[in-house]
Amino acid sequence: MVNLAIIALSFVMPEVYAGNTNAFGRLYVDSYSQYGAPRNLYSTDAVNGVASFWLDEPGGIYHTYVHAKGALRKKITINWDPAVGVGGLDLKVKYGDLNGDNYVSQVEVDFVFASIGSTSGTLAWWDVSGFAPMDCDFNQDGTVSMADYLLASPNAGVTGDF
């Protein structure tokens, strides 16, 4: 009976979908009311470039901030109709922000380049005497490689949304 109740619930609460995400691992969405009041924090894993999440809110316009580890914040306005759902959101994020100040500095990009070859399981991986190589592994494959650098390098000098 419990399972049936859950299945029934899933039919009356459509998901918010987002195709076209380049996020690795967890993607976080903070929602705010149209008046700016903080509402809820949601998180989900991107699967095959698609992130979908529940927006457990009444209908309305919501300002949301999407972010992922090592990425700049991105503002998205959602016109939420629970009866219809929302699709086609652009949840692509920009990587390279190692210290979480919503800005990708050239110093950060240079550190990613200098960390190429670092792998998890080594002491240097965790080095926190500034930036840590572990924070440069944007694609979360356990090593810092050119692929990580190429995710960050186009964003030098870019500030995330406020």
Question: Where along the sequence are the contacts to Ca ion (CB under 5 A)?
Answer: 97, 99, 101, 103, 137, 139, 141, 148
What is the closest distance, in whole angstroms, from the C-beta atom of residue 62 to Ca ion in the complex?
26
What is the closest distance, in whole angstroms, from the C-beta atom of residue 95 to Ca ion in the complex?
10
Please say which residue, 33 or 99, places its beta carbon nearer to Ca ion: 99
Six-digit token string for 51 = 């992130």
- In terms of Cα–Cα distance, which of 38, 97, 105 is closest to 68? 97
Please say which residue, 31 or 155, places its beta carbon nearer to Ca ion: 155
Please say which residue, 141 or 161, places its beta carbon nearer to Ca ion: 141
What is the closest distance, in whole angstroms, from the C-beta atom of residue 155 to Ca ion in the complex?
10
Q: Collect all residues with Cβ–Cβ distance below 8 Å to 122 and sequence separation of at least 6.
A: none
Q: Collect all residues with Cβ–Cβ distance below 8 Å to 37 and sequence separation of at least 6.
A: none
Q: Which of the 8 DSSP states describes residue 15?
A: P
Please say which residue, 50 or 150, places its beta carbon nearer to Ca ion: 150
What is the closest distance, in whole angstroms, from the C-beta atom of residue 49 to Ca ion in the complex?
17
| Cβ proximity of 94 and 70 under 8 Å | no
DSSP 41-61: EEEEE-BTTBEEE---S-SEE
